[in-house]
Amino acid sequence: MITDKFKNIDLYCSLSDRISEAIDFLRKTDFTNLKPQEISVDGKNIFAILAEYQTKDIQNCKLEAHRKYIDIQYIISGSELIGYVPLNNQTVTEEYDEEKDVIFFDGETSLVKLDTGMFAVFFPDDLHKPCIQAAENSELVKKIVVKIKV
* pLDDT tens digits along 58-79: 999 999 999 999 999 999 999 9
d(CA 130, CA 111) in angstroms, rounded, equals: 10
Determine the Cα angle at 65 with ends 18 and 132, to 5°.
Answer: 105
pLDDT at residue 41, as a whole number: 98
- Who's near 120: CB < 8 A, 6+ residues apart? 1, 2, 3, 71, 72, 73, 82, 84, 112, 114, 128
pLDDT at residue 32, as a whole number: 87
Per DSSP, what are the bridge partners of residue 42?
44, 46
Q: Please give the single-letter amino acid code of residue 90.
A: Q
pLDDT at residue 49, as a whole number: 98
pLDDT at residue 93, as a whole number: 98
pLDDT at residue 59, as a whole number: 96
pLDDT at residue 123, as a whole number: 98
Low-confidence ranges of the chain (pLDDT < 50): none
Q: Which of 79, 82, 64 is nearest to 136 (CA)?
A: 79
- Domains of the chain by range and CATH? 2-149 (2.60.120.370)
Q: Rounded to two decimals, what is the model's pTM?
A: 0.96
Query: Pairing mode, if any, of strands 46-54 and 140-149?
Result: antiparallel
